[in-house]
């Protein structure tokens, strides 16, 4: 018998940035990647509707895949619904992805940190609480981007990215104050690490870009018992809630070692 899979959840391709780290750490595990593309972008949803939507969807996903653990590889979803998921499905472990404010506050030298996220994550109380808990001594600028997650989707499917659009989206992250400059940008959306090279290229000065993917994968690993044998033979799969994966998406999933059933 093979071990139960790890379920990775996002609105689109962003969770693949976490999946690739998880694979390195847990090569013997089986993965089910769920892209709720029918609901993309999560960042634009009203909170109550998105909460209900994700809770209902998870009831079906847990039933269908019976995962050992679920990783919410999405800041926009985690900052809204991680507590509600734990409450609604007690006994099932969930790992969330929330803005890496604490490591940013520990690392900054200038005291100027920016959190780049979807408009949803930026307005969450959860995000504000993280800042007041961990970053009181810093100046944290929250930058909500309407377009970066979509740009990352296009880039991953078609290989094209509009650099001027990336430049415009990240520009508000860069602040100069009393001779100090922003030195850390937290990538608080799992889609963004796919664009980080373009961000580096279009940034007005060099900064540290914090991607929490490895830390999330480590957290998931720490909560799992050792594998019972290897999952070889059972393919890792990708599920799209729209039921429509076109050629570009299928090819992308193949590149990540995922089969669309």
Stretch binding ligand DGL (CB under 6 A), from 8-16, 50-58, 86-94, 124-132: 8-16
Binding span for ligand DGL by CB under 6 A among 27-35, 68-76, 176-184, 218-226: 68-76
Task: Tell which residue, 130, 116, 119, 114, has the closest CA to residue 82.
Answer: 130
In the set 5, 14, 96, 212, which binds ligand DGL (CB under 6 A)?
A: 14
In angstroms, the CA 146 to CA 119 distance is: 6
* 139-144 sheet: strands from edge to edge: 139-144, 112-117, 184-187, 208-210
According to the annotation, is 2 in a ligand binding site? no
Catalytic residues: 74, 189
> Is 76 marked within a binding site?
yes
Residue 15, classed as helix, strand or coil, is coil
Indicate which single residue of 108, 118, 145, 182 sits in contact with ligand DGL (rule: CB under 6 A). 118
Minimum Å gap between C-beta 246 and ligand DGL is 18
Q: Verify binding: residue 169, ligand DGL, rule CB under 6 A.
A: no
239 in Cβ contact with 35 (< 8 Å): yes
Residue 10, annotated as binding a ligand: yes
Minimum distance from residue 69 beta carbon to ligand DGL (Å): 18
Confirm or reject binding of residue 76 to ligand DGL (CB under 6 A). yes
Residue 17 interacting with ligand DGL (CB under 6 A) = no
Residue 111 marked ligand-binding: no
Hey, how many other C-beta atoms are within 10 angstroms of the C-beta on 188? Answer: 31
Please give the residues from 32 up to 51 whose contact with ligand DGL meets the rule CB under 6 A: 40-43
Residue 217's contacts (CB-CB under 8 Å, 6 or more residues apart) are: 18, 21, 22, 24, 25, 26, 71
Q: Which of 70, 114, 121, 127 binds ligand DGL (CB under 6 A)?
A: 121
Backbone angles phi, psi at 94, to 5 degrees: -120, 140
Least Cα distance to 121 among 152, 103, 145 occurs for 145
For ligand DGL, the closer of residues 6 and 71 by Cβ is: 71
151 binds ligand DGL (CB under 6 A): no
Cα maximum dimension of the chain: 62
Q: Which of residues 197-256 bind ligand DGL (CB under 6 A)?
A: none
How far is the C-alpha of 217 from the C-alpha of 96, rounded, in Å?
10
H-helix or E-strand spanning residue 144: strand 139-144
Q: Which residues bind ligand DGL (CB under 6 A)?
A: 10-11, 14, 40-43, 74-76, 118, 121, 149, 189-191
Q: Which residues are annotated as a binding site for substrate?
A: 10-11, 42-43, 75-76, 190-191
């Amino acid at each position: 018998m093979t071990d139960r899979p790890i379920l990775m959840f996002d609105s689109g391709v962003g969770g693949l940035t976490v999946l690739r780290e998880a694979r390195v750490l847990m090569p013997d595990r089986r993965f089910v990647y769920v892209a709720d593309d029918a609901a993309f972008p999560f960042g634009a949803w009203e909170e109550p509707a998105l909460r209900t939507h994700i809770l209902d969807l998870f009831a079906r996903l847990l039933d269908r895949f019976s995962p050992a653990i679920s990783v919410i590889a999405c800041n926009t979803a985690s900052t809204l619904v991680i507590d509600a998921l734990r409450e609604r499905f007690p006994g099932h472990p969930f790992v969330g992805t929330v803005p890496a404010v604490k490591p940013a506050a520990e690392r900054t030298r200038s005291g100027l940190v920016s959190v780049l996220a979807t408009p949803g994550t930026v307005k969450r109380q959860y995000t504000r609480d993280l800042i007041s808990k961990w970053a009181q001594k810093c100046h944290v600028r929250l930058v909500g981007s309407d377009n970066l997650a979509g740009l990352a989707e296009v880039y991953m499917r078609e290989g094209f990215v509009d650099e001027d659009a990336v430049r415009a989206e990240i520009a508000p992250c860069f602040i100069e104050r009393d001779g100090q400059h922003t030195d850390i940008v937290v990538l608080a959306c799992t889609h963004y690490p796919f664009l980080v090279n373009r961000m580096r290229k279009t940034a007005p000065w060099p900064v540290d870009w914090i991607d929490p993917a490895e830390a999330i994968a480590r957290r998931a690993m720490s909560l799992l018992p050792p594998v019972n044998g290897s999952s070889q033979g059972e393919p890792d799969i990708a599920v799209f809630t729209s039921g429509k994966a076109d050629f570009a998406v299928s090819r992308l999933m193949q590149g990540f070692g995922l089969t669309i059933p």
